[in-house]
Amino acid sequence: MAKPWAVSSDSHISEPPDLWTSRVGPELAERVPHVVSEEQGDWWHADSHRLFTVAAGTPGARFEGKDRARTEARAGNYYPGAHIPSAKIEDMDADGVYGELVYPTLGIVLFRLPDRALLSTVCRIYNDWIAEFCNAFPVRLKGVAMINLDDVEEGAAELERAAKLGLKGAMISVYPDESVSYDMPIYDRFWAAAQDLDMPLSLHVGTNRNAPPTGRPPGDPTIARFHAMPTPAYYTNAAHWVEMSLANMVFGGVFERFPGLATVSLEHEAAWAPHFLNLMDYTYTQRPQGKDWIRFKDGALPSDSFRRNIFISYQEDPLVGQLRSIIGVDNLLWGSDYPHGEGTFPRSRQTLDGILEGVPELERDKMVRTNTSRLYSFDLRD
């Protein structure tokens, strides 16, 4: 066992095939996520949509040059650490990881379900289950709730319920429908609840409320909306959506009104942040101001809100060590993405040794361990 040395701000599970169907009546069994066996593998379906293959990838396969294709995965062949708490802990020990923030896999694309009531039901069921999963090892596993904000009051109530379940943060859509962007005051009830409950809000890649364009040719609208493998262009430019939402929150004065609200960008890496910070400040100080633009108190700049309220989870961005001082050493959180095929397990230490070469030990400790521990209240005394 490697000596525990890191805390992952971004790790995952693979949802059990019966997670939702075992917790609803027969009237919803075909509408909630359920597994359908197909010739090329098992796939998740929900509400007449074919969503996502059941596989989360094979941890470490990319380091061995193995094929990372997911198309022939079967629910009975889940990687143990993806759905069994004790097996997850064993892999964490082997990789030197003390604690994990735990996110869904299928749940990421479920934000695209068009039916508001169904999405809220799916979120509540998942929150119950992930709380049970993490309670097997509550010191080392901390769950993150899924919250649908189509109805803000309902979302705030679910956030409060999730906190009572013991969950330590909440994942909201990285980019809601543009008619209800995050600069709008309709969300203030939710921001206030998150601040008061000390529940950081996660903006995870792929959680767009409406599916973003992927460059696919027109055709079956179900495939266009839920296609499991976005194009390389989408992956390359995925940070666009989190930049839009974070800029809306900053320029909308969200962090002025709620200075204790924490927001985390996940799986967008980190190198985009310096350019984003520079352009926010330039826009605020140099561009002609619209009549609805707010002015921050005491001469503050947009970058001040970023450094107080926004955190960046990185995985293996080769520029993070060079750019850390511009982004803010205290704003950087490491995540392994375990057990996904593109994650760093079982070579997390080697990966970080490479990208953080030359970073002083105190700063490195913050970037791989103590920042996440502070934000999510991991007890590292052991």
Residue 179 has pLDDT above 70, yes or no: yes
Average pLDDT over residues 174-195: 97
- Answer yes or no: is 1 within a domain: no
d(CA 337, CA 9): 9
- Answer yes or no: is 114 within a domain: yes
Specify whether the backbone of 124 is left (phi greater than 0), alpha (psi in -120 to 50) or beta: alpha
Per the DSSP assignment, residues forming a β-bridge with 180 are none
Give the tokens for residue 131: 């709380």
What does the pLDDT read at residue 23?
98
295-320: pLDDT as tens digits: 999 999 999 999 999 999 999 999 99
CATH number at residue 101: 3.20.20.140
What does the pLDDT read at residue 217?
43
Residue 3 has pLDDT above 80, yes or no: no
Q: What percent of the chain has pLDDT over 70?
A: 91
Residue 214 has pLDDT above 60, yes or no: no
- Answer yes or no: is 382 within a domain: no
* Least confident segment among 55-69, 120-134, 198-212, 280-294: 55-69
Integer angstrom CA distances of residue 32 from 14, 17, 78, 312: 16, 11, 20, 32
- Answer yes or no: is 113 within a domain: yes
Q: How confident is the model at residue 54 (pLDDT cuts 50, 70, 90)?
A: confident
> For residue 120, what are the domain limits?
6-376
Provide the H-helix boundaries in 166-253: 188-197, 221-226, 232-236, 239-251
Per the DSSP assignment, residues forming a β-bridge with 314 are 334
- Answer yes or no: is 65 within a domain: yes
Residue 215 has pLDDT above 50, yes or no: no
Sequence-distant (6+) residues with CB within 8 A of 98 are 4, 5, 6, 7, 92, 140, 369, 378, 380
Q: How confident is the model at residue 66 (pLDDT cuts 50, 70, 90)?
A: low
Phi, then psi, of 166 in degrees rounded to 5: 100, 5
Q: How confident is the model at residue 218 (pLDDT cuts 50, 70, 90)?
A: very low
322-379: pLDDT as tens digits: 999 999 999 999 999 999 989 999 999 999 999 999 999 999 999 999 999 999 999 9
- Answer yes or no: is 140 within a domain: yes
Number of domains the chain contains: 1
d(CA 75, CA 184): 41
- Answer yes or no: is 381 within a domain: no
266-302: pLDDT as tens digits: 999 999 999 999 999 999 999 988 888 899 999 999 9
